[in-house]
């Protein structure tokens, strides 16, 4: 049964509970039956308080990407399947003093990409340049665990954007659970601090266009028309990547002992207050610490690369850093709840108590990537977003698998979408596009329709549209 609440908000009654979907009619019709099967499976987890899909929802492992699922902290459940494998994956944006006109020359943009790549390892198993960073400090203290030399504003304690302009600079948890991590995992994590990773991760140089109705907020954030910004998308790399399968396996064993089954073997869960639940939450938070540091160090590498091009005085302060794969304790409806977001971005409105201090008055920037051939967006949450626990999309969302993309999209179509051969060509770090064909714009939904769905639902508004100029992708 479907109930249409209007304003791109539909509620579907499934066998095991209700699912809220925030999508315009065009996007809603494209969702497909399997996303509802997965939702119904997820709703079998007892005492669910709320579950929804953002418009970029698509099938994942155990749970759809684009899911928000909520349980009460008192008697609820935590699910590694709903958090996902790339724990702490998220977005980061840095501001520059450059304008689009300053880097109109394609040769200059190519020089920028080549220089950045000296400092930002883009291979899937690329090794960190930062061997003096201690991983145990990173996973316990987040950005606070970095040596001062890697925190550009450490000498200005009253205005340390590196720790004040992020969703969370340090996640607190029980460090005793780290004792079970084997040496191999510590070693791989140490090798990958400040590395990009593969898949949909990227560093992108963009220019922005301010939306007139949000110009006041944009100016308060330090944005201006034509400004060049740097957008970073990455997560917890090997640290989170090795935790996820370990806990899927551990939770599955525990569920077998409890006599609990699900239709999908990849869907696992445990009570928040169980030993399994507490261990997972603690180590998940360690991965969130790693992820925010990894993005910070990626941006540090970009800054060092651009200094080679634009001079030693070049600076690029952070606008904001936030995640879209995690389960976080938050207060909603006057009670503590565990909010799972898998491929969903938190977008808090002005005045909300969970905002970082720097963004109390305006709401924080919500960073939504498109693809290397389409716009990305900087948004801000609106008060009606409370109905969806202040969750919005995390990107465009895939419309076809990597394999299907390679079968259906030609390299020539890919070239056309990133304007190869024109003055507006999106410069890519790869010399052959075949190697990243599965990440071409044609692999993703129409990001403008996704943004229209979110805006139409009243969940958030667009502050700036970001056009791609150059991109570094991992392999």
| Residue 203, marked binder | yes
Q: Which residue's structure tokens are 């900087």?
A: 378
| Residue 370, marked binder | yes
Q: Which residue's structure tokens are 């049964």?
A: 1
| Residue 396, marked binder | yes
HSE value, Cβ hemisphere, 13 Å, CA-based, for 122: 25
Contacts of 87 (CB under 8 A, 6+ apart): 235, 236, 239, 240, 243, 244, 284, 287, 288, 291, 325, 326
Cβ(461)–Cβ(110) below 8 Å: no
Q: Which residue's structure tokens are 């799972």?
A: 340
Alpha carbon separation from 475 to 22, 433, 472 (Å, rounded): 33, 11, 10
| Residue 351, marked binder | no
| Residue 394, marked binder | yes
| Residue 323, marked binder | no
| Residue 174, marked binder | no
| Residue 371, marked binder | yes
| Residue 372, marked binder | yes
DSSP codes of every residue in 179-207? GG--HHHHHHHHHTTT---STT-EEEEEE
Cβ(142)–Cβ(152) below 8 Å: no
> Which one of 296, 340, 364, 394 is the catalytic residue?
394
| Residue 233, marked binder | yes
| Residue 325, marked binder | yes
| Residue 51, marked binder | no
Q: What is the rounded CA–CA span in Å between residue 67 and residue 382?
A: 19
Q: What angle do CA 292, 295, 298 make, to 5 degrees?
A: 150
| Residue 86, marked binder | yes
HSE value, Cβ hemisphere, 13 Å, CA-based, for 272: 19
| Residue 213, marked binder | no
Q: What is the rounded CA–CA span in Å between residue 291 and residue 437?
A: 26
Q: 5 catalytic, yes or no?
A: no
Structure tokens at 316: 């690029």
Could you say which DSSP state residue 314 is in? -
Report H helices in 212-274: 215-221, 237-258
| Residue 355, marked binder | no
4-42 burial code (b ≥16 CB/10 A, e <16): eeeebbbebebeebbbbbbbbeebbeebeeebbebbbbb
Q: What angle do CA 284, 290, 296 make, to 5 degrees?
A: 140
| Residue 397, marked binder | yes
Residue list, annotated binding site for Mn(2+): 86, 201, 233, 324
Residue list, annotated binding site: 86, 200-204, 233, 324-325, 369-372, 376, 394-397, 473
Residue list, annotated binding site for GMP: 200-204, 324-325, 369-372, 376, 394-397, 473
Catalytic center residues: 394
């Amino acid at each position: 049964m479907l109930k249409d609440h209007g304003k791109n908000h539909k509620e579907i009654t499934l066998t095991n509970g209700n699912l809220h979907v925030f999508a315009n009619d065009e996007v809603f019709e494209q969702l497909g039956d399997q996303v509802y099967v997965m939702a119904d499976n997820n709703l079998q987890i007892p005492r669910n308080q709320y579950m929804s899909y953002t418009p970029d929802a698509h099938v994942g492992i155990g749970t759809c990407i684009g899911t928000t699922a909520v349980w009460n902290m008192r008697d609820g459940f935590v699910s590694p399947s709903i958090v996902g494998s790339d724990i702490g994956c998220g977005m980061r944006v840095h501001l520059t003093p450059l304008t689009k006109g300053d880097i109109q020359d394609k040769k200059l943009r190519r020089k920028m990409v080549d220089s950045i790549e000296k400092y930002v390892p883009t291979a899937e198993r690329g090794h960190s340049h930062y061997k003096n960073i201690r991983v145990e400090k990173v996973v316990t203290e987040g950005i606070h665990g970095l040596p001062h030399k890697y925190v550009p504003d450490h000498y200005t304690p009253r205005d340390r954007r590196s720790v004040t302009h992020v969703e969370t600079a340090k996640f607190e948890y029980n460090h005793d659970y780290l004792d079970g991590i084997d040496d191999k995992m510590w070693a791989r994590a140490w090798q990958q601090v400040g590395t990009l990773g593969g898949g949909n991760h990227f560093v992108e140089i963009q220019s922005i266009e301010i939306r007139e109705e949000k110009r006041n907020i944009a100016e308060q954030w330090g944005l201006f028309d034509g400004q060049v910004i740097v957008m970073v998308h990455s997560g917890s790399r090997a640290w989170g990547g090795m935790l996820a399968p370990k806990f899927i396996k551990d939770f599955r064993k525990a569920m077998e002992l409890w006599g609990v089954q699900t239709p999908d073997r990849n869907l696992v869960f445990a009570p928040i207050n169980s030993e399994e639940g507490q261990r997972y939450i603690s180590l998940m938070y360690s991965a969130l610490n790693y992820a925010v540091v990894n993005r910070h160090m990626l941006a540090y590498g970009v800054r060092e690369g651009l200094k080679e091009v634009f001079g030693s005085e070049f600076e690029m302060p952070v606008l904001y850093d936030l995640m879209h794969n995690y389960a976080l304790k938050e207060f909603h409806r006057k009670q503590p709840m565990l909010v799972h977001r898998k491929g969903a971005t938190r977008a808090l409105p002005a005045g909300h108590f969970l905002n970082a201090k720097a963004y109390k008055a305006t709401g924080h920037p919500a960073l939504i990537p498109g693809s290397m051939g389409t716009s990305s967006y900087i948004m801000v949450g609106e008060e009606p977003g409370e109905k969806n626990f202040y969750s919005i999309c995390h990107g465009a969302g895939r419309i076809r698998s990597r394999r299907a993309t390679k079968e259906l999209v030609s390299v020539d179509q890919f070239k056309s979408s990133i304007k190869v051969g024109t003055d507006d060509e999106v410069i890519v770090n790869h010399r052959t596009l075949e190697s990243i064909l599965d990440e071409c714009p044609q692999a993703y939904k129409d990001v403008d329709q996704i943004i229209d769905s979110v805006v139409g639902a009243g969940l958030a508004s667009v502050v700036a549209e970001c056009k791609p100029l150059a991109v570094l992708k991992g392999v």
